[in-house]
Amino acid sequence: DVKVTQSSRYLVKRTGEKVFLECVQDMDHENMFWYRQDPGLGLRLIYFSYDVKMKEKGDIPEGYSVSREKKERFSLILESASTNQTSMYLCASSFDRARGSPLHFGNGTRLTVT
Partner 1 sequence: GNSVTQMEGPVTLSEEAFLTINCTYTATGYPSLFWYVQYPGEGLQLLLKATKADDKGSNKGFEATYRKETTSFHLEKGSVQVSDSAVYFCALISNTGNQFYFGTGTSLTVIP
Among 24, 36, 108, 111, binds partner 1 (CB under 8 A): 108
Nearest Cα to 47, choosing from 37, 39, 57? 57
Which amino acid is residue 11, in one-letter code? L
Does 58 contact partner 1 by CB under 8 A? yes
Among 34, 47, 48, 74, binds partner 1 (CB under 8 A): 48
Quick note: the x/- pattern for partner 1 over 69-88, rule CB under 8 A, is --------------------
Does 66 contact partner 1 by CB under 8 A? no
Quote the least distance from Cβ 16 to partner 1, whole Å. 28
| Sign of the alpha-carbon torsion through 50, 52, 55, 59 | positive
Stretch that binds partner 1, among 14-22, 42-50, 64-72, 73-81 (CB under 8 A): 42-50
| Residue 106 vs residues 6, 56, 77, 79, 86: alpha-carbon distances, Å | 6, 20, 17, 22, 18
Beta strands per DSSP E along 58-99: 64-70, 73-78, 87-94
Binding site for partner 1 (CB under 8 A): 4, 33, 40-43, 45, 48, 50, 56, 58, 90, 92, 97-100, 102-108
